[in-house]
Amino acid sequence: MFRYLARAAAPAESAQRILGSARAASGSSAPANSDGKLWKITLRRSPLGLHPRIRENARVLGLTRCGHTVYRPVSNELAGMIIKVKEIVKVELVDRAEPLKQQAPDGFQIIGRLNPQIAPGSKAAKPLLPLRRQPRAGSS
Amino acid sequence: MFGSFVGAFRPSLAVLGGKEWRIPWRLSKTRKANVRKRLREVDSVIDTLVASGVECKQLDLIRDLPREHEMLPRDKYTTFSRTASKHRKGVHKVPHFTKRAIPRTTPAGF
């Protein structure tokens, strides 16, 4: 009855290997006619309340929150993981990954800092406030 | 006397203040439509995997399962139960049935 609820997929360490190298892994597993195609996998339902193995499969696929979309190479191992989570997932076959949304550029550019001790990427490195009104030409 | 026979609650004897939610024995038309929609979504996931051309033992096991329009209504809206009478119960009584794999066929003989 529950024959397709089979044993767990690959553990986390080898899953990183599978996800990292799309075609280089020996013995796996890209089918012949896939030609570098990708699966666009979207997590439609939360895995809360489901069996821990199903939740592990969702995590290993890279699906961390509801609505999360990831692009994964077509391979036999990932097919098994998707089958485990097929009730909560939407899958499309695509040619390339869509680029992530780029953040809109700020309307200002930081040209310098008054305090040289603030590191550029730190929390204290807030954007510069607009400079005070410059002294009029001619006055000291 | 206490505890009404109308409303969402079924009176339980616990202190005569106990209330239990009424659970209908069958699904409504809306719920059935949503069950069919979810089955079709799973069908489309399986179709995508098959179209990708992967070779997978689990895929071989599920690709021959009946599709939503090939399933019997009793398999869509009810499921096998070891403990219920007639060994059948509404699928809505399975916890998390909306995101769980429910068998599409009944065990032989039931």
Q: Using an 8 Å Cβ cutoff, are A60 and A13 in contact?
A: no
The whole-chain average pLDDT of chain A stands at 78
Of chain A, the percentage scoring pLDDT greater than 90 comes to 42
Give chain B's end-to-end CA distance (angstroms, integer): 42
Q: In which element (H, E) is residue B77 found?
A: helix B73-77
Quote the CA–CA distance of A109 and B29 in Å, as a whole number: 59
Q: How far is CA B15 from CA A12, A113, B11, B18, in A?
A: 51, 71, 10, 6
- Cβ-based contacts of A50 with chain B (< 8 Å): 96, 99-100
Tokens of B63: 């690709």
**B54·A79 Cβ contact <8 A:** yes
With bands split at pLDDT 50, 70 and 90, how would you rate the model's confidence at A112?
Answer: confident
Tokens of B56: 């997978």
Quote the CA–CA distance of A86 and B46 in Å, as a whole number: 8
Q: Is the pLDDT of residue B59 over 70?
A: yes
- φ, ψ dihedrals at A94, nearest 5°: -130, 165
- Inform me whether the C-beta atom of residue B62 falls under 8 Å from chain A C-beta atoms: yes
Please report the pLDDT score of residue B56 as a whole number.
Answer: 94
3-state secondary structure A8-64: CCCCHHHHHHHHHCCCCCCCCCCCCCCCCCEEEEEECCCCCCCCHHHHHHHHHCCCC
- C-alpha A69: how far from chain center: 8
Q: Higher-confidence residue: A40 or A100?
A: A40
- Inform me whether the C-beta atom of residue B48 falls under 8 Å from chain A C-beta atoms: yes
Give the pLDDT confidence of B83-110 residue by residue, as tens digits.
999 999 999 999 999 999 999 999 999 9
- Cβ-based contacts of B45 with chain A (< 8 Å): 82, 86, 89-91
Give chain A's end-to-end CA distance (angstroms, integer): 90
Question: B60 to chain A: nearest residue by CA?
Answer: A4
**B56·A80 Cβ contact <8 A:** yes
- Inform me whether the C-beta atom of residue A27 falls under 8 Å from chain B C-beta atoms: no
Please report the pLDDT score of residue B19 as a whole number.
Answer: 63
- Inform me whether the C-beta atom of residue B108 falls under 8 Å from chain A C-beta atoms: no
ipTM given for this complex: 0.81
Tokens of A96: 């390339």
Tell me the sheet residues that pair with A89.
A43
Please report the pLDDT score of residue A132 as a whole number.
Answer: 63
Q: Higher-confidence residue: B37 or A7?
A: B37
Quote the CA–CA distance of A43 and A66 in Å, as a whole number: 5
